[in-house]
Amino acid sequence: MAEPIHDSEWRRIVDPDAARFLMDGSQRRYVGPFLRNESTVAQAAAELAVGTDDMYYRVKRMQRFGIVSVTRSEPRAGRPVKYYSAGPHALFVPFAATDYDTVEAMLLATEAANQEWFTRNLAVSLARRDAADGPPWGCLIYADTERVMRYRMRQEGATTEAAARNALLDPDAPATYSVWRGLRLRSDDGKELQARLDDLVLEFEHRAAALEGATDVRRYFLRLALTPLADD
C-alpha cells in the first residue's frame, strides 16, 4: 500500500549515469530491493527471481553510479557477506538530469515499456480464452449512428456494447480490461471521474495489502489513463 513519502526522505539523483540507469525500466527494477531496506545480492536476486550473477552485475553498476552503497559486512568463511542499501525511501531524478530533450520524449519512452508489457500479458490472457473453445477474439471496425468510425476488440458474435461487456465480465473470462474512449465531459465531471478512479485504485491497494502472504492470489498489472485533449 502506498504511504506518504516526505521530501526529506528523497535523495536527488543528478549524476547522468545514475539517472540513465533509473530511467530505464529494465534496469530500474533492480534498485527495488534496496529501497527502504538493506539487502544482500542473493536476497535481492531471490526477490526479483533473477540469477545471482545477473543481480551482482547490476549491484556493481548501481554502486559505481552511487545509487546503492555497502551498509555493513558479515564475516564468514571466505568472502564476507555485504549488505547494500539505496539509503532513503525514494530517489528523485529531475528532468534536467535525464537524456531526454523534452518531457514528451521522456513520457513516450517510459510509457512505451509499460504499454508493451501490458499488451503482451493481455494477449496471453485472450489467447488462453480462445483456447478454451469460446468465441474467438478479434477486431471490429464499424461506424456508429453518427457515422463516427469505431475500433473495438470483440469476441465474435458480440453484436452490441452490452454483449461485449458481458463477454468480458463473464466469470470464466480472464479479469482483463482495456478501453480507449473519447468522452465529452464538463471540467467538474472530468475531475469527478479522476477522483473516483483514484479512490477505486486506493480501495484495491488496501485490499492487496491485507492479502500479503496469501497463496490464492495472482499478480495483475493495472493501467488507467485520463487526459483532456490538447487540441480541444
- What average pLDDT does the chain have? 84
Which pLDDT band, with edges at 50, 70 and 90, does 132 fall under? low
- If you search the block for the grid coordinates 492470489, which residue do you land on? 217
Query: What angle (nearest 5°) sits at the alpha carbon of residue 184, between those of residues 181 and 187?
Result: 120
Domains of the chain, by residue range, sit at 7-97, 103-180, 183-211+219-232
Residue type, 203: E
- If you search the block for the grid coordinates 463477454, which residue do you land on? 167
Answer with the residue of higher pLDDT: 13 or 114: 13
Contact 204, 171 (CB under 8 A): no
Phi and psi at residue 160, in whole multiples of 5°? Answer: -130, 165
The pLDDT value recorded for residue 130 is: 65
Would you state the cell numbers that stand for residue 81, as one nine-digit string?
Answer: 557477506
- Taking each helix axis from N to C end, the angle separating 16-23 and 103-131, rounded to the nearest 10 degrees, works out to 30
Phi and psi at residue 78, in whole multiples of 5°? Answer: 85, -140
Answer with the residue of higher pLDDT: 65 or 157: 65
Which pLDDT band, with edges at 50, 70 and 90, does 133 fall under? low
CA 126/CA 161 separation, integer angstroms: 18
Q: Which tens digits make up the pLDDT trace of 171-227?
A: 877 788 777 777 888 999 999 999 999 999 989 988 888 887 788 888 888 888 777
pTM over 0.75: no
Q: Residues of 35-45 as b/e, b for ≥16 C-beta within 10 angstroms? A: ebebbbbebbb
Would you state the cell numbers that stand for residue 75, as one nine-digit string?
Answer: 564475516
CA 34/CA 169 separation, integer angstroms: 39
Span 7-97 CATH architecture:
Orthogonal Bundle (1.10)
Q: What is the mean pLDDT of residues 67-96?
A: 89
CA 105/CA 83 separation, integer angstroms: 36
Collapsed DSSP state (helix, strand, coil) of residue 141: strand
The pLDDT value recorded for residue 2 is: 47
The pLDDT value recorded for residue 21 is: 94
Count the helices and strands in the chain (H runs, E runs). Answer: 7, 6
DSSP-assigned states of every residue in 41-90: HHHHHHHHT--HHHHHHHHHHHHHTTS-EEEEEE--SSSPEEEEE--SSE
